[in-house]
């Protein structure tokens, strides 16, 4: 049985319909795939505390964490991820790829064409259908 981790991610809207995403570092599992910024929840942390810490470490920004928007469980061969995506906004700082290979903003429709981590795919589809009434094929 693979180990299970709780992961939190930030849905940061940089402009109407455009969201900040990051590309995973080369040499790591799921290298160079795109994902929403965030990371593992450490023991004793709330989801919001973990997201604030991860944003500071990975992006160099101070986040305000809002409501949970989407949740999904995904089993990779090496671990099972309990992923929670929270609405968030940057209070201080300009995002830099401190813990990522690259950063960019994209619409949900653009993200569906990018190589994303498998766990994020249901979130992307939900985000795209929310923004367009239905998912365009």
pLDDT for the residue 1:
53
Q: Are 1 and 79 in contact (CB under 8 A)?
A: no
pLDDT for the residue 29:
85
Would residue 38 be called left, alpha or beta, if left means φ above 0 and alpha means ψ between -120 and 50 degrees? Answer: left
Domain-embedded: residue 128: yes
pLDDT means over runs of 10, the chain (137 residues): 88 94 92 95 97 97 96 92 96 96 95 94 88 43
Strand partners, 73: 82
Domain-embedded: residue 115: yes
| Cα(105)–Cα(123) distance, integer angstroms | 16
Q: Which domain holds residue 44?
A: 3-132
Give the DSSP letter of residue 16.
Answer: T
Q: Which helix (H) or strand (E) holds 122?
A: helix 121-132
- What CATH number does residue 95 fall under? 3.90.79.10
pLDDT for the residue 132:
52
Of the CA atoms within 13 Å of residue 89, those in its CB half-sphere come to 5
Strands (E) in the chain, as ranges, are 3-15, 18-23, 34-35, 38-40, 62-75, 79-92, 102-106
pLDDT for the residue 135:
35
| Cα(36)–Cα(69) distance, integer angstroms | 13
pLDDT for the residue 121:
92
Domain-embedded: residue 109: yes
Domain-embedded: residue 137: no
Residues with Cβ within 8 Å of 118's Cβ and at least 6 positions away in sequence, in order, are 74, 76
| Domain count within the chain | 1
């Amino acid at each position: 049985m693979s180990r299970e981790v709780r992961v939190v991610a930030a849905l940061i809207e940089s402009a109407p319909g455009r969201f900040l995403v990051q590309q995973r570092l080369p040499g790591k599992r799921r290298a160079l795939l795109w994902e929403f910024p965030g990371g593992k929840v450490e023991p004793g942390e709330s989801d919001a505390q973990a997201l604030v810490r991860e944003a500071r470490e990975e992006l160099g920004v101070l986040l305000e964490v809002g409501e949970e928007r989407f949740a999904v469980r995904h089993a990779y061969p090496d671990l099972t991820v309990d992923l929670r995506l929270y609405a968030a906004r940057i209070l201080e700082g300009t995002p830099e790829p401190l813990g990522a290979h690259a950063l960019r903003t994209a619409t949900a429709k653009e993200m569906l064409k990018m190589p994303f981590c498998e766990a994020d795919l249901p979130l992307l589809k939900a985000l795209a259908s929310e923004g367009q009434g239905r998912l365009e094929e």
